Amino acid sequence: MPSYVIAGASLAGAKAAETLRDEGFDGGIVLIGSESERPYERPPLSKGYLLGSDPRDSVYVHAAGWYAENGVDLREGVTVTAIDRSARTVAISSGAQVSYDRLLLATGASPRRLNFPGSDREEVLYLRTVDDSDRLRSAFQPGTRVVVAGAGWIGLETAAAARTAECAVTVLEPQSGALTDQLGPELGAVFADLHRAHGVEFRFGEKAVEFRPGLVITSGGAEIPADLLVVGIGAAPNDDLAARAGLETGNGVLTDEALRTSDPDIFAAGDVANSFHPLLGRRVRVEHWANALNGGPAAARSMLGQAVRYDPVPYFYSDQYDLGMECAGLPSPGTYDQVLYRGDRDALEFIAFWLSGGVVVAGMNVNVWDVSDDIQALIRAARPVDPARLTNPDIPLTDL
């Protein structure tokens, strides 16, 4: 009976295990995760769970009994420390070896850390795990002075949660605007304005260089009163295990479009995978929930020998204050030459389209719903659109 091992027990790993069973695989499945917690989803950790509105039970991928009921040997609090590709075994933190016929790497990503005087103090907090979210939630009390390092998604969602808890919030960002790498300056400004309207202060062009009790010192020499410094400066793929085993890596574990690594018996999915994307014609590493949700199952089918062409339009969502949005595509600067709007940008009820050469390459619906599939179809179609029709809300997106 073959045995499949999954390293990393979070969304990608748990969904891969589920798909293996759904597809009729009746061999062994060992799902190994470093965290002492069964697989859970991270988006609520900076939203409803952090705000206290989503209960703990709502974050888990499966009910507690699901793993045993489905013959999935879930090993919590266990780390895969090495892969022996010739013996087809992985070493785990207890010192034991686990044999595999096929191995999935779903080890995700870890927050980039700050390293400066005071950065190891307990008031300097990160947000990746449910424990991190618990810690932030109890620290966010009315009047707490919170400095956030980084105006990316984690930084801004954390800022929104802190403001909702009536903390005083300052966001430091070395770039000239919010979400610049993620959305470009035009749409990044929409989010910065939203936060300003909720009382967040931004200091662009500045980063934290020192933490002293009660104070964050910035690169511009400013001293900002702070009870907490929350760090949201991006994440790095947990690809060291793969690199040490001689697999091809580079900003993640390199895979083909079937999520197979340079070893045909080893696969990678989720945040750790840097996969060839047939639609985009290049490799991408996507740190989005939907990529773990769909990539884990795609890798599982590939492990079973099915023909897989994993090419979803990248999809991301965020909730901040009363703004809910979905973004399809990867609208980073340099990938587009025009931004067009359908709807009311000032009233925060609109769709933004990023175009390159007249072709929609990304789209974001803000407080407008049930259109993401149509936006994704437009991106997939990759043909020029008439700007007047694109921006006219009376014309269905499906008629463009």
Ligand X SMILES: Cc1cc2nc3c(=O)[nH]c(=O)nc-3n(C[C@H](O)[C@H](O)[C@H](O)COP(=O)(O)OP(=O)(O)OC[C@H]3O[C@@H](n4cnc5c(N)ncnc54)[C@H](O)[C@@H]3O)c2cc1C
For the bound state, the minimum distance from the C-beta of residue 109 to ligand X, rounded and expressed in Å, comes to 5
Residue 384 has φ and ψ, to the nearest 5°, of: -60, 145
Does position 156 interact with ligand X (CB under 6 A)? The reply is no
For the bound state, the minimum distance from the C-beta of residue 93 to ligand X, rounded and expressed in Å, comes to 8
Among 61, 72, 80, 179, binds ligand X (CB under 6 A): 80
Among 317, 336, 350, 354, binds ligand X (CB under 6 A): 317
Nearer of residues 18 and 271 to ligand X, judged by Cβ: 271
Q: Where are the alpha helices (DSSP H) in 213-369?
A: 240-244, 289-303
For the bound state, the minimum distance from the C-beta of residue 373 to ligand X, rounded and expressed in Å, comes to 16
Q: List all residues 6 or more positions away from 391 whose beta carbon is below 8 Å from its beta carbon.
A: 340, 341, 342
Largest CA distance in the chain: 64
Tally of residues, the chain: 400
Nearer of residues 256 and 271 to ligand X, judged by Cβ: 271
Nearer of residues 321 and 400 to ligand X, judged by Cβ: 321
Does position 159 interact with ligand X (CB under 6 A)? The reply is no
Footprint on residues 91-110 left by ligand X (CB under 6 A) = 106-109
In three-state secondary structure terms, 115 is coil
Q: CA-based angle 119:125:127, to the nearest 5? A: 135
Does position 17 interact with ligand X (CB under 6 A)? The reply is no
Nearer of residues 207 and 288 to ligand X, judged by Cβ: 288
For residues 38 and 9, the answer to whether their CB atoms sit within 8 Å is yes
Task: Compute how many other C-beta atoms are within 10 angstroms of the C-beta atom of residue 287.
Answer: 18
C-alpha–C-alpha distance, residues 229 and 122, integer Å:
9
Does position 270 interact with ligand X (CB under 6 A)? The reply is yes
For the bound state, the minimum distance from the C-beta of residue 48 to ligand X, rounded and expressed in Å, comes to 11
Among 4, 5, 6, 7, binds ligand X (CB under 6 A): 7
For the bound state, the minimum distance from the C-beta of residue 399 to ligand X, rounded and expressed in Å, comes to 29
For the bound state, the minimum distance from the C-beta of residue 376 to ligand X, rounded and expressed in Å, comes to 14
Footprint on residues 34-63 left by ligand X (CB under 6 A) = 34-35, 42-43, 45-46
Does position 238 interact with ligand X (CB under 6 A)? The reply is yes
Among 139, 217, 292, 390, binds ligand X (CB under 6 A): 292
CA R_g for the chain: 22
Nearer of residues 185 and 324 to ligand X, judged by Cβ: 324
Does position 289 interact with ligand X (CB under 6 A)? The reply is yes
Strand ranges across the sheet with 359-366: 315-320, 323-328, 359-366, 349-356, 338-344
Nearer of residues 77 and 220 to ligand X, judged by Cβ: 77
Does position 237 interact with ligand X (CB under 6 A)? The reply is no
CB-count burial class (<10 Å; 0-12, 13-18, 19+) for 329: buried
The conformation of residue 169, written as its DSSP 8-state character, comes to: E
Number of H helices, E strands in the chain: 10, 26
Does position 32 interact with ligand X (CB under 6 A)? The reply is yes
C-alpha–C-alpha distance, residues 240 and 378, integer Å:
37
C-alpha–C-alpha distance, residues 344 and 150, integer Å:
28
For the bound state, the minimum distance from the C-beta of residue 76 to ligand X, rounded and expressed in Å, comes to 10
Tokens of 262: 């340079």
**Which range of residues in 166-174, 202-210, 220-228, 281-289 is near ligand X by CB under 6 A?**
281-289
Does position 127 interact with ligand X (CB under 6 A)? The reply is yes
Q: Which residues bind ligand X (CB under 6 A)?
A: 7-13, 32-35, 42-43, 45-46, 79-80, 106-109, 127-128, 154, 238, 241, 270-271, 287-290, 292, 316-318
